[in-house]
Structure 1
């Protein structure tokens, strides 16, 4: 049922490292193209894994055109080829309250969660940009989940609650920060 099999799935010297971008259902998700472009400019090849609910927040056709790969949201059937190589890193952005809590609990009921759970076990670097409002971030389960994931080596950026944004303005979500978190200096 799981997808990746080992980190460093790019296959050979001279090939670009492969970044899985896991996208959750949040209003800022429509701006995921900003992250894709920034990652490509930094030398990554990108594949997008969306939660089923996130598909309603992104333009899959635009994402597929930018990455040259299908947006993944469901497990492939046995015998189907893998549409992505194994990841060299995973960026979870935007990360919602629900996904962070389920991931920390080891729940793997979507491809996105399965990817996150397995990436940890494979030793793949993972960075997270939460999109969680202050009220949800104050919940004890969320705080415990973030603490648990940090203890697993997951790198977190500052949470974004979206309170200051104007209608239609998603400019305050600092997509590039998740890439900064994946560098050795972060």
Structure 2
């Protein structure tokens, strides 16, 4: 059986400080993981991008390639945006694909690639009216948005637990959606 390719796309949200946990858990679930970071998240890891490349076996991408450059990553069988920041959620919901991370999922969902997203932001950020609109717009396009008891339940301001991000919930949903199993 061929290993399926997962694009794990991480935004500048607390759990990205521990993105190796998500990579290792996805690999443990049988995925060949390609890591894509938003430009802000890439800044957090800039001194350690080599470690992440070694961990995944692929270059870590955060920028669009230049015209004429070949693809550096294999074709994705599924995409998981986790953690999804409030900023990236609203940009994506509005159709603003100014980063590789959002550009990939904006196209992927319309090319038949299963796309899932698990947020990580606080309740005050989530109260912004654009958040509900963005979630509804993404769901209408076929994005599986993982919030509430089956995903991430937003935390009170300054009370999140980045290290406690529920990767197992995201991977269970990924297995169900992308592999067709329960």
Q: Do both share a fold (TM > 0.5)?
A: yes
Is 2:13 aligned against 1:37? no
Residues 1-186 of structure 1 aligned to structure 2 (within 5 Å)? 14-58=1-45, 59-155=48-144, 156=146, 157-161=151-155, 163-165=158-160, 170-184=162-176, 185=181
Structure 2 unmatched runs, 5+: none
Alpha-carbon distance in structure 2 between the residues aligned to 1:111 and 1:16: 24
The answer to whether the 8 A contact 1:22-1:112 is kept is yes
- Between the two proteins, the alignment pairs up a number of residues equal to 170
After TM superposition, the structure 1 stretch with the greater mean CA deviation from structure 2, 126-135 or 52-61, is 52-61
- Structure 1 length normalisation: TM-score? 0.84
Alpha-carbon distance in structure 2 between the residues aligned to 1:53 and 1:97: 13
Deviation at residue 176 of structure 1 after TM alignment: 2.4
Secondary structure, aligned partner of 1:94: strand
Alpha-carbon distance in structure 1 between the residues aligned to 2:54 and 2:113: 26
> Per-residue CA shift, 1:121-154, capped at 9, x if unaligned?
1111111110111011011100111112122222
Tell me how large the CA RMSD over aligned residues is: 1.7
The answer to whether the 8 A contact 1:95-1:129 is kept is yes
Structure 1 unmatched runs, 5+: 1-13
The answer to whether the 8 A contact 2:13-2:121 is kept is no
The answer to whether the 8 A contact 1:73-1:111 is kept is yes
- Structure 2 length normalisation: TM-score? 0.86
Alpha-carbon distance in structure 1 between the residues aligned to 2:31 and 2:152: 23
